[in-house]
């Protein structure tokens, strides 16, 4: 579990960029504001946010409420995770039921799950793992590494509660993104379940998320006198699409052009020489699926059959009818070997607990790095996120800014959850 810290050429050297310095000058204001926000809207129990840092601009591009990848965190962060869990869950629960992705034999996912389970155990909670698949009536055991095993037990329904044969949990934590919808066994339960299953990818909308994020930024940026665009990608939403039948492709193309124009105007204003691009994302996609990079609206009209098929269906076999068009943010950050890197920030509740870099040797500064061939580089994030001041020397203090942007995205997710609760009330 001990990893070397990679030499990130742009992340660890050079003077602070204006946006980083700006955020670093406002620590007390920012932390006090977040405190008020979390009192109004509780943070998600766990989240991870993918960021892109273009130098002039630092923005979230994806917010995950069912994070895996705990195995990619530097073990130095684990105490922060444990402490944050104790703080967030407090005395409100004793027995946790963790519901992971099922039907997976992915060793990396099992490692992540093992760490998540042990963090909860070490925070002082009982933890057992359940299998939400109704087909599984037998417990399954997975060997993880040489020393550990994971036991996934079949779920039982007891009136309005989900239980194991001899275990009645008072908190259910979902680590399954419910791409295929909410299974019957989780319908209408009275136990506390985090996150709410309505935020599973069968229901969640990236558009909703970035609308909430937009509102969060409109409140936050003026507080520290920051141009909101510097932390908020321009976006638009197009609905009623059918990629296979080519329904709505012209509307999509026109809207892509509109977003590209807005970005171009901004670039001209700020004398940025890069070519604007947008990322078109399936509104309910995950796992880096259903994503295309577009530099010119004509590319949309000319999508070939393979590309349209790729956009039409995503994980859980869902049809894509709505997309998010999002301003592309170039990644300034590179590893020492030149590979493009994208920071991923992890949170437990309102606390930034760590992060790592997603790295892709074969892709460029405007590509989606969440694609085959990527790997992960753990990093000493957490120090910086919590105490910028004492890191003059090694330059880590710039990561404080990452922790701020990631928390703004987590706050947007918190408001998504609150709006669902409001809706159901």
Give the one residue of 11, 54, 388, 417 binding its own copies; rule: CB under 8 A.
Answer: 388
Task: Return the range that interacts with its own copies (CB under 8 A); candidates 54-62, 82-90, 151-159, 272-280.
Answer: 82-90
Please give the backbone phi and psi of residue 326, each rounded to the nearest 5 degrees, phi first: -125, 135
* CB-count exposure of residue 95 (10 Å: 0-12, 13-18, 19+): middle
81 near 381, Cβ under 8 Å? Answer: no
- Among all chains, which residue has been given the structure tokens 């409420």? 65
133 interacts with its own copies by CB under 8 A: no
Among residues 310 and 383, whose Cβ is nearest to its own copies? 383
Q: How far is the CB of 87 from its own copies (least distance, A)?
A: 4
**Site for its own copies, residues 103 to 122, rule: CB under 8 A:** 115, 118-119, 121-122
170 interacts with its own copies by CB under 8 A: no
- The span from the CA of 182 to the CA of 196, in Å, is 10
**Neighbour order of strands in the sheet with 148-154:** 140-144, 148-154, 126-131, 95-100, 171-175, 192-194
86 interacts with its own copies by CB under 8 A: yes
Reduced to 3 states, what is the DSSP secondary structure of residue 317? helix
The two beta strands, 278-282 and 235-238, are unpaired
3 interacts with its own copies by CB under 8 A: no
Site string for its own copies, 16-55 (x = CB under 8 A): -----------xx-xxxxxxx-xx----------------
126 interacts with its own copies by CB under 8 A: yes
Give the one residue of 59, 65, 82, 303 binding its own copies; rule: CB under 8 A.
Answer: 82
Geometric angle at alpha carbon 379, from 376 and 380, rounded to 5°: 165
- The span from the CA of 406 to the CA of 44, in Å, is 12
Biggest CA–CA distance in the chain, Å, is 65
Q: How far is the CB of 312 from its own copies (least distance, A)?
A: 43
Among residues 71 and 131, whose Cβ is nearest to its own copies? 71
Please give the backbone phi and psi of residue 163, each rounded to the nearest 5 degrees, phi first: -135, 170
390 interacts with its own copies by CB under 8 A: yes
Q: How many other β-carbons are positioned within 10 Å of the β-carbon of residue 176?
A: 23
Among residues 245 and 387, whose Cβ is nearest to its own copies? 387
- The radius of gyration computed from the CA coordinates of the chain, to the nearest angstrom, equals 21
186 interacts with its own copies by CB under 8 A: no
Among residues 119 and 401, whose Cβ is nearest to its own copies? 119
Which residue ranges make up the site for its own copies (CB under 8 A)? 1-2, 27-28, 30-36, 38-39, 75-76, 78-80, 82-84, 86-87, 90-91, 94, 115, 118-119, 121-126, 350-351, 382-383, 385-391, 393-394
């Amino acid at each position: 579990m001990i990893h070397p810290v990679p030499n990130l050429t742009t992340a660890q050297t050079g003077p602070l960029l204006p946006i980083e310095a700006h955020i670093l000058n406002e620590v007390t204001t920012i932390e006090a504001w977040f405190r008020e926000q979390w009192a109004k809207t509780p943070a998600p129990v766990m989240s991870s946010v993918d960021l892109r840092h273009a130098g002039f601009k630092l923005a979230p591009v994806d917010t995950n409420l069912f994070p895996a990848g705990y195995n990619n965190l530097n073990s130095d962060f684990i105490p922060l995770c444990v402490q944050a869990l104790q703080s967030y869950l407090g005395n409100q629960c004793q027995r946790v039921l963790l519901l992971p992705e099922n039907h997976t034999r992915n060793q990396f996912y099992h490692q992540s799950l093992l760490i998540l389970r042990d963090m909860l155990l070490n925070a002082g909670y009982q933890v057992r793992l359940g299998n939400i698949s109704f087909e599984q009536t037998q417990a399954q055991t997975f060997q993880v590494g040489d020393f550990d095993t994971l036991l996934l037990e079949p779920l039982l329904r007891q009136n309005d509660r989900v239980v194991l044969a001899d275990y009645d949990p008072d908190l259910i934590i979902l680590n399954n993104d419910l791409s295929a919808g909410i299974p019957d066994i989780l319908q209408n339960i009275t136990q506390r379940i985090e996150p709410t299953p309505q935020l599973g990818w069968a229901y969640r909308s990236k558009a909703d998320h970035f609308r909430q994020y937009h509102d969060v930024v409109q409140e936050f940026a003026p507080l520290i006198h920051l141009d909101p665009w510097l932390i908020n990608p321009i976006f638009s939403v197009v609905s009623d699409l059918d990629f296979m039948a080519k329904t709505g492709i012209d509307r999509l193309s026109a809207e892509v052009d509109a977003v590209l124009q807005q970005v171009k105007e901004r670039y001209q204003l700020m004398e940025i020489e890069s070519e604007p691009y947008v990322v078109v994302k399936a509104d309910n996609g995950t796992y880096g699926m259903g994503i295309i990079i577009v530099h010119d609206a004509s590319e949309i009209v000319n999508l070939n059959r393979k590309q349209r098929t790729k956009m039409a269906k995503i994980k859980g076999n869902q049809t894509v009818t709505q997309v998010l068009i999002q301003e592309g943010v170039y990644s300034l950050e590179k590893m020492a070997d030149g590979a493009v890197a994208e920071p991923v920030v992890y949170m437990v509740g309102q606390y930034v607990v760590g992060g790592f870099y997603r790295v892709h040797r074969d892709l460029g500064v405007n590509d989606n790095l969440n694609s085959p061939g990527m790997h992960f580089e753990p990093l000493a994030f957490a120090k910086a996120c919590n105490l910028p001041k004492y890191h003059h020397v090694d330059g880590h203090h710039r990561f404080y800014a990452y922790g701020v942007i990631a928390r703004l995205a987590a706050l947007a997710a918190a408001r998504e959850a609150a709006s669902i609760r409001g809706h159901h009330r």
